[in-house]
Structure 1
Amino acid sequence: MLAPSYPITTPRLTLRAFTEDDLDDLYAFHSLPEVARYLYWEARTREETEAALEEKIGRAEIRSDGDALSVAVELRETGRVVGDLTLFWRSEENRQGEIGYVFNPACHGRGLATEAARELLRLGFDGLGVHRLYGRCDARNIPSYRLMERLGMRREAHLVENEFFEGEWSDELVYAMLAREWRAQA
């Protein structure tokens, strides 16, 4: 089980549970086509963002296999939510988890996603006690796979044309890190 003790602070960010007050900030980037380009949802309307936010609010802790934890990333200097992190518990038996992240492009290039995602790894390894965390992305999503590389994750797979995504075949990259690799870099 994982019920984070919030807030989690980094030099520039506060990580916390989502609240209903986050709708405007979340909509500001969930509504952008360039944000949704490599995700499994289209740019969201305000109503779709509100529904997604309600789901995120309900994912405040991990209790069992198959659960997901949603974490809001707030920029401390503005108090605005600029990122959306997810930690999935994929297999309790095999102690496997998956990470996901979405950030407001207005904040790209400042290292904020790396700062936040490192805390997501910490929650997975130190909080949930997983053996292996992985992340997946479309091979064309260069910022996403570069983030995983900055985190110290290694590329484990390049799946060629494994999904028919938005009307075309796309490649998928899989990156992973083991708990012993996490401890070695800490």
Structure 2
Amino acid sequence: MTLPWHFTPLSGERVTLDLLRADDLDALSAIQGDPTTVRYMLYSARTRDEVATAIERDGAHDRLENSGDYVQPAIRDAAGRLVGTLYVKLASTDDRTAEIGWLLSPGERGKGYATEAAEIILRLAFEELGLHRVYAELDPRNEASAAVCERLGMRHEAHLRENLWLKGEWVDTAVYAILEQDYRRRRI
């Protein structure tokens, strides 16, 4: 593996990933403060102050080196507007494994931004960092995120029934993953 890796902005055809910053507060508050938008997230709708704290915390994470390290960059459209966030965490350096996830503004869903942003991270993971496996854990009721996983070539590996007590109910977890060799086959 090629670590440590220090975050620098990453660009695709229509999106750029860069670190969260203080002027993202209004846009990110609209996303993370909406109960419908965060329905399938591990956290409930956040107040403006909680979002400000999250920006400060997550914006400071700009390095992947050890198991548990993460970056949570902003997903920006071609005009530079924040349309969502992406999450990548080194789950295990020994196993060369990372976790990935995304959250988009309701008005920006269905435009391919999550898929493009995740493709940028998969390219980084497999072509630069030398990871072996990247996975996503999500609520299987979140059909849009499951569809992103499938578009990325991730395989549905598991469906854990009622494994998590969240927001007053038992919820399931779906696990999707892609291996380095599967990623490389798709690139040919």
Taking only aligned residues, the RMSD between alpha carbons, in angstroms, comes to 1.2
Distance (Å, rounded) in 1 between the aligned partners of 2:18 and 2:84: 11
Following TM superposition, where does structure 1 have runs of at least 4 consecutive aligned residues deviating by more than 6 angstroms? none
Give the corresponding residue for 2:30.
28
Distance (Å, rounded) in 2 between the aligned partners of 1:133 and 1:107: 24
Distance (Å, rounded) in 1 between the aligned partners of 2:57 and 2:126: 24
* 1:98 equivalent in alignment to 2:99: yes
Give the corresponding residue for 1:108.
109
Aligned residues: 184
Give the corresponding residue for 2:148.
147
Ranges in structure 2 where 5+ consecutive residues have no aligned partner: none
How much has 1:37 moved relative to structure 2? 0.5
Report the TM-score when normalising by structure 1: 0.94
Give the corresponding residue for 1:65.
67
SS of residue in 1 equivalent to 2:71: strand
Is residue 38–residue 141 contact of structure 1 (8 Å, CA) maintained in 2?
A: yes
SS of residue in 2 equivalent to 1:162: strand
What code does the residue aligned with 1:69 have?
V
Deviations 1:18-39 (A, max 9, x none): 2222111211211111111011
Distance (Å, rounded) in 2 between the aligned partners of 1:13 and 1:131: 25
What code does the residue aligned with 2:52 have?
E
How much has 1:70 moved relative to structure 2? 1.4
Give the corresponding residue for 1:17.
19
How much has 1:40 moved relative to structure 2? 1.2
Deviations 1:133-169 (A, max 9, x none): 1001011111111110111100000111111222222
What code does the residue aligned with 1:149 have?
E
How much has 1:85 moved relative to structure 2? 0.6
Give the corresponding residue for 1:40.
42
Give the corresponding residue for 1:82.
83
Distance (Å, rounded) in 1 between the aligned partners of 2:186 and 2:11: 20
SS of residue in 2 equivalent to 1:42: coil
Ranges in structure 1 where 5+ consecutive residues have no aligned partner: none
What code does the residue aligned with 1:88 have?
K
Distance (Å, rounded) in 2 between the aligned partners of 1:105 and 1:144: 13
Give the corresponding residue for 1:123.
124
Q: Among the aligned pairs, what percent are the same residue?
A: 40
SS of residue in 1 equivalent to 2:120: helix
How much has 1:128 moved relative to structure 2? 2.3
Give the corresponding residue for 2:8.
5
